[in-house]
């Protein structure tokens, strides 16, 4: 095992890091071109054709990376989010179409899973020049920020505990290990996106909206997918897929039924993009299970929305029961259709090797620094 870890470290240092830098330099140069083209080229088909080579390049670039964390993260940021933002920008829609965006903010918004929160209007100041009380919104924001720090710290500790627990996987029921994988995926994704958002906040000096909203407290599938889970994807799919399909379906089917093809179409696109991300992960031909997972959730959400409309709030499950049902449904369907695709690509084994390699690398660097003589040491 120690030899495998050293091989992983060597691969990261000699190959993957240089490929990672090359890929992101290509992304940066490409977005510079898109920023200038957006100022010059007319919106619509002319701008779309100008962006098309970049969109194709962004689909190709993740293929140059092979490690799980760098490769999959880059694929999600570039091949999915960036391409959808550029497609919307081509037709003067989406976050990149704001003409007031500075060049740094355009680049950050284009290639990172962030969304800049609109600043509230300035608070009125009393005549003495000092605010009498802290505004309620500000206090609420501080409390929310404090809760976020505590939440991320807790999830970080839980994630580290899970990674350590995998050392004893031979003595644990496989079903429990699979459930741990589900929480591992959620915690790791939220922490990675939070780190990226924090870096962007520091560099941009702007308030950023959260990417997750405690999905474990979802009261319905609509609440889970629409308002709590990976909100950046939701904010991209709504204007790029849901709204255009809803508008077209409204003309063909009427307002009452328009949401059905809009919801299903959104889940189909999400399924296809997940199939692409998983292809980057293992370079294995898709089996269709991921598509089945998202189509199942799309159909169930349509049924759920129809049931809510039919009942018109006359009867509603207690909150704790509805939350438990949502969590169980997502977990069971994930264990059935989603997680096996990750394990088929050996994502669990590769992730643990990469964690071990990073830990060993940091430990070796720490030992090396410990033996560096101090500049104040007195020579004999």
User: How do residues 25-78 score in pLDDT, each as one tens digit?
Assistant: 999 999 999 999 999 999 999 999 999 999 999 999 999 998 888 899 999 999
pLDDT value of residue 197: 78
Buried b (16+ CB within 10 A) or exposed e, 188-222: bbbebbbebbeebeeebeeebebbbeebeebbbbb
pLDDT value of residue 379: 44
Which of 105, 12, 16 minimizes the C-alpha distance to 62? 16
pTM for the model: 0.82
Question: What's the distance, Cα to Cα, between the start and end of the chain in Å?
Answer: 43
pLDDT value of residue 380: 38
**Cβ-contact 261, 249 below 8 angstroms:** yes
Across residues 366-379, what is the average pLDDT? 57
Backbone torsion region of residue 288, taken as left when φ is above 0, otherwise alpha when ψ lies between -120 and 50, otherwise beta: left
pLDDT value of residue 373: 58
**Cβ-contact 162, 186 below 8 angstroms:** no
Which of 263, 260, 204 minimizes the C-alpha distance to 234? 263
Is the pLDDT score of 133 beyond 60? no
User: How do residues 171-205 score in pLDDT, each as one tens digit?
Assistant: 888 888 888 888 888 888 888 888 887 887 777 77
pLDDT value of residue 139: 47
The share of the chain scoring above pLDDT 70, in percent, equals 81
Is the pLDDT score of 144 beyond 60? no
φ/ψ of 335, rounded to 5, equals -65, -30
pLDDT value of residue 240: 92
pLDDT value of residue 128: 45
Which of 5, 7, 26 minimizes the C-alpha distance to 15? 7
pLDDT value of residue 4: 55
Q: Report helix, strand or coil for 222.
A: helix
Residue 170 per-residue DSSP state: G
Which of 337, 335, 256, 261 minimizes the C-alpha distance to 296? 337
Tell me the C-alpha distance between 293 and 272, whole Å: 11
The share of the chain scoring above pLDDT 90, in percent, equals 43
Which two three-digit tokens encode residue 378? 């007195």
Tell me the C-alpha distance between 310 and 295, whole Å: 23
pLDDT value of residue 10: 56
Tell me the C-alpha distance between 295 and 268, whole Å: 7
User: How do residues 224-267 score in pLDDT, each as one tens digit?
Assistant: 999 999 888 999 999 999 999 999 999 988 888 899 999 999 99
Tell me the C-alpha distance between 74 and 345, whole Å: 17
Residue 119 CB partners (closer than 8 Å, separation 6+): 207
Which two three-digit tokens encode residue 108? 């950050």
Which two three-digit tokens encode residue 7? 């091989």
């Amino acid at each position: 095992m120690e030899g495998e870890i050293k091989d992983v470290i060597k691969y990261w240092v000699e190959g993957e890091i240089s490929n990672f830098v090359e890929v992101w330099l290509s992304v940066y140069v490409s977005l510079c071109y898109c920023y200038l083209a957006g100022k010059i080229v007319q919106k619509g088909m002319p701008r779309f054709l100008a962006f098309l080579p970049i969109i194709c390049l962004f689909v190709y670039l993740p293929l140059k990376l092979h490690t799980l964390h760098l490769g999959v993260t880059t694929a999600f940021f570039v091949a999915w989010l960036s391409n959808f933002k550029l497609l919307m920008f081509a037709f003067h829609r989406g976050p990149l179409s704001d003409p007031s965006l500075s060049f740094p903010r355009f680049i950050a918004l284009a290639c990172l899973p962030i969304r800049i929160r609109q600043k509230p209007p300035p608070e009125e100041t009393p005549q003495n020049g000092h605010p009498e009380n802290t505004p309620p919104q500000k206090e609420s924001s501080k409390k929310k920020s404090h809760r976020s720090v505590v939440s991320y710290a807790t999830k970080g500790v839980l994630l580290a505990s899970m990674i350590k627990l995998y050392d004893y996987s031979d003595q644990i029921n496989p079903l429990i290990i699979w459930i741990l994988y589900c929480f591992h995926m959620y915690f790791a994704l939220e922490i990675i996106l939070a780190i990226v958002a924090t870096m962007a906040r520091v560099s941009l000096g702007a308030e950023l909206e959260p990417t997750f909203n405690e999905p474990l407290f979802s009261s319905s599938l609509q609440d889970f997918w629409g308002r709590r889970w990976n909100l950046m994807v939701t904010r991209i799919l709504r204007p790029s897929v849901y709204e255009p399909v809803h508008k077209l379906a409204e003309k063909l089917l009427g307002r009452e039924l328009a949401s059905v093809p809009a919801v299903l179409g959104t889940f189909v696109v999400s399924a296809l993009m997940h199939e692409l991300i998983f292809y980057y992960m293992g370079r294995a031909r898709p089996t269709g299970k991921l598509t089945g997972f998202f189509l199942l959730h799309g159909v169930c959400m349509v049924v759920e929305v129809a049931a809510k409309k039919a009942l018109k709030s006359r009867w509603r499950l207690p909150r704790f029961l509805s939350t438990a049902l949502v969590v169980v449904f997502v977990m069971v369907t994930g264990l059935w259709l989603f997680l096996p695709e990750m394990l088929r690509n050996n994502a669990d084994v590769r992730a643990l090797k990469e964690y071990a390699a990073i830990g060993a690398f940091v430990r070796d660097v720490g030992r090396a620094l410990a033996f560096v003589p101090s500049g104040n040491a007195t020579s004999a």
